């Protein structure tokens, strides 16, 4: 699991999007026929430890507004990345994939 902290001006809107791999691939020099299936999901929460008040991404995207009508100038939100890896019977070695989280402030 990974947690990304997003900081922006209070009441600012943002579009969060996720580009995620569906499998991990072996490093250069390894048997390239082996891959490891990967399922990733993401959710947003305005608080770091409040797992009850979260918003899941839909189709790898989510539109949010940080903060509220309070007097704070800056506010923070959190994106949680989580999922499953099914290793199975693969050649030992290093496997990797690239996940990209884009934040477009509006």
Nearby residues of 84 by Cβ (< 8 Å), 6 or more positions away: 38, 39
The pTM is what? 0.84
Mean pLDDT of 42-56: 86
Which CATH number applies to 2-105? 2.60.120
**What pLDDT, on the 0 to 100 scale, is given for residue 79?**
94
Domain ranges of the chain: 2-105
Do 84 and 36 contact (CB within 8 A), yes or no? no
pLDDT in tens, 78-95: 999 999 998 988 888 899
Nearby residues of 78 by Cβ (< 8 Å), 6 or more positions away: 3, 4, 5, 6, 44, 45, 46, 47, 48
At 72, is the pLDDT very low, low, confident or very high (cuts 50, 70, 90)?
confident
């Amino acid at each position: 699991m990974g947690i990304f902290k997003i900081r922006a001006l209070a009441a600012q809107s943002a579009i969060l999007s996720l580009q995620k791999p569906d499998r991990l691939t072996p490093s250069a020099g390894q048997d390239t026929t082996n891959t490891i299936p990967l399922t990733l999901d993401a959710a947003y929460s305005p608080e770091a430890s409040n797992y009850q008040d979260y918003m899941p991404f839909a189709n790898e995207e989510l539109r949010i507004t940080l903060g509220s009508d309070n007097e704070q100038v800056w506010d923070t939100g959190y994106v949680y990345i989580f999922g499953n890896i099914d290793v199975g019977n693969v050649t030992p070695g290093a496997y990797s994939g690239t996940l990209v989280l884009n934040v477009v402030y509006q």
